[in-house]
């Protein structure tokens, strides 16, 4: 079989896997929406609606049809970009999500930069000092980051660093005084404030994002640190490391130019998955800091029983993870020529 044909079959298999995964995700999302205890009809008509009104809305939503038919209509709506209207806001759900998602992306991006910036070097430090005091310190640091509830650390951090010390901004994305002063072009407040030349707004946004991003970054760094340490210990136990030292390479050259290079592929996956978890797992920190992002939007809609919004949020979280896995595969081919 020719190389070109092998590549075609590889691409076709990859596309097929993604298609099946998306179909399974859509099926799971649909049945989650149907099994949730919230009543979408009651959320629309209210508690005081008559039975005739209730049944009319019930039929208009297609809930009287068989499940397979409802699923077919749901697939059709999704593929045409129709995710329904939010009961809570009265706006198309996709429009609401496009409005709140930049705030979460901004927060998660800052957090993953902090998490990877801390986790990777700490993991390497722990591995090269296995069972010595730096290793023990790093492991305790990771244990605290992994085990402490983030809503608790968020409230404590607000009390200490905002209310008591006054070092950072409080809740929200910026001070109340600046709300509405700049035009939303990209949705990313830091970028929009720079485009508008409003440096006061920019520094207010930086002041507000530091604390929640640091807490999320610390939480993700615990996972990245442990995985980096494990990957490095595996590589440092290989024969090529001993050979490199025998040939006269320094300890730092052996660590960074040989062992670390060989764990880059695994780190790509770990960091990508950590980033995905930050995008969909910032619910608690966004609630504590009143951060108007995707997590708070999902929480508010769960409380009100807005199933159109909840189902769309669940679907988008799944798509994010599929996209990040696909990106990891692409980066694999860049960092590791053996996978090409």
Domain boundaries, the chain: 3-79, 93-339
Taking the CB of residue 265, how many other CB atoms lie within 10 A of it?
18
How far is Cα 296 from Cα 293, in angstroms, rounded to an integer? 6
Report phi then psi at 191, rounded to 5: -70, -45
pLDDT per position as a tens digit, 302-323: 777 777 788 888 788 888 878 8
Q: Are 270 and 224 in contact (CB under 8 A)?
A: yes
92 - beta bridge partners? 85
Range with the largest mean pLDDT of 80-84, 162-166, 277-281: 162-166
Listed in sequence order, the residues at least 6 apart from 5 whose beta carbon sits closer than 8 Å to its beta carbon are: none
How far is Cα 236 from Cα 36, in angstroms, rounded to an integer? 49
- Hey, what are 129's tokens? 């000092």
Q: How confident is the model at residue 225 (pLDDT cuts 50, 70, 90)?
A: very high
pLDDT per position as a tens digit, 243-275: 877 777 777 888 887 888 888 888 888 888 888
Percentage with pLDDT > 90 across the chain: 14
How far is Cα 314 from Cα 318, in angstroms, rounded to an integer? 6
Check residue 248 and give left, alpha or beta (phi > 0: left; psi -120 to 50: alpha).
left
Q: Are 167 and 161 in contact (CB under 8 A)?
A: yes
How far is Cα 264 from Cα 231, in angstroms, rounded to an integer? 9
pLDDT surpassing 50 at residue 6? no
DSSP-assigned letter for residue 163: I
pLDDT per position as a tens digit, 200-218: 889 999 999 999 999 999 9
271, burial (CB in 10 Å: exposed 0-12, middle 13-18, buried 19+): buried
The DSSP string of 198-222 is: -HHHHHHHHHHHHHHHHHHHHHHHH
Average per-residue pLDDT for the chain = 81
- Hey, what are 286's tokens? 């966004």
pLDDT value of position 8? 47
pLDDT surpassing 70 at residue 276? yes
pLDDT surpassing 90 at residue 170? no
pLDDT surpassing 70 at residue 109? yes
Helix count and strand count (H, E) for the chain = 15, 0
Q: Name the least confident of 62-66, 102-106, 226-230, 287-291.
A: 62-66
Which top CATH class is 93-339? mainly alpha
User: N- to C-terminal Cα distance for the chain?
Assistant: 17
Query: Roughly what angle, to the nearest 10 degrees, separates helices 67-79 and 3-35?
Result: 120
pLDDT value of position 304? 75
pLDDT value of position 336? 62
């Amino acid at each position: 079989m020719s190389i070109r044909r092998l590549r075609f079959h590889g691409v076709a298999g990859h596309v097929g896997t993604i298609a099946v995964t998306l179909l399974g995700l859509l099926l799971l999302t649909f049945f989650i929406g149907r099994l949730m205890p919230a009543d979408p009809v009651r959320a629309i008509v209210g508690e005081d609606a008559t039975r005739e009104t209730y049944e009319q809305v019930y039929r208009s939503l297609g809930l009287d049809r068989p499940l397979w038919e409802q699923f077919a209509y749901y697939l059709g709506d999704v593929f045409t970009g129709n995710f329904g209207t939010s009961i809570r806001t009265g706006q198309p759900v996709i429009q609401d999500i496009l409005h709140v998602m930049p705030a979460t992306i901004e927060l998660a991006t800052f957090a993953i930069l902090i998490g990877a910036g801390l986790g990777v070097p700490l993991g390497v430090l722990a591995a090269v000092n296995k069972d010595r005091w730096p290793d023990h310190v790093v492991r305790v640091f990771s244990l605290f980051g992994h085990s402490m509830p983030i809503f608790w650390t968020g409230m404590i951090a607000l009390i200490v660093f905002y209310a008591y010390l006054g070092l950072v901004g409080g809740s929200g994305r910026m001070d109340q005084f600046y709300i509405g002063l700049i035009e939303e072009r990209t949705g990313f407040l830091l970028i929009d404030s720079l485009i508008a030349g409003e440096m006061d707004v920019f520094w207010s946004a930086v002041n507000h994002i530091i604390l929640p991003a640091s807490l999320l970054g610390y939480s993700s760094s615990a996972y990245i640190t442990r995985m980096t340490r494990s990957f490095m210990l595996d590589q440092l136990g290989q024969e090529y490391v001993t050979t490199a030292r025998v040939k006269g390479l320094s300890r730092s050259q052996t660590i960074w130019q040989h062992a670390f290079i060989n764990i880059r592929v695994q780190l790509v996956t770990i960091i990508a998955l950590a980033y995905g978890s930050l995008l969909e797992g910032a619910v608690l920190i966004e609630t504590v800091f009143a951060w108007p992002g995707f997590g708070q939007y999902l929480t508010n809609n769960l409380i009100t029983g807005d199933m159109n919004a909840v189902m769309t949020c669940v679907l988008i979280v799944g798509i994010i993870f599929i996209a990040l896995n696909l990106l990891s595969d692409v980066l694999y081919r860049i960092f590791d020529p053996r996978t090409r």
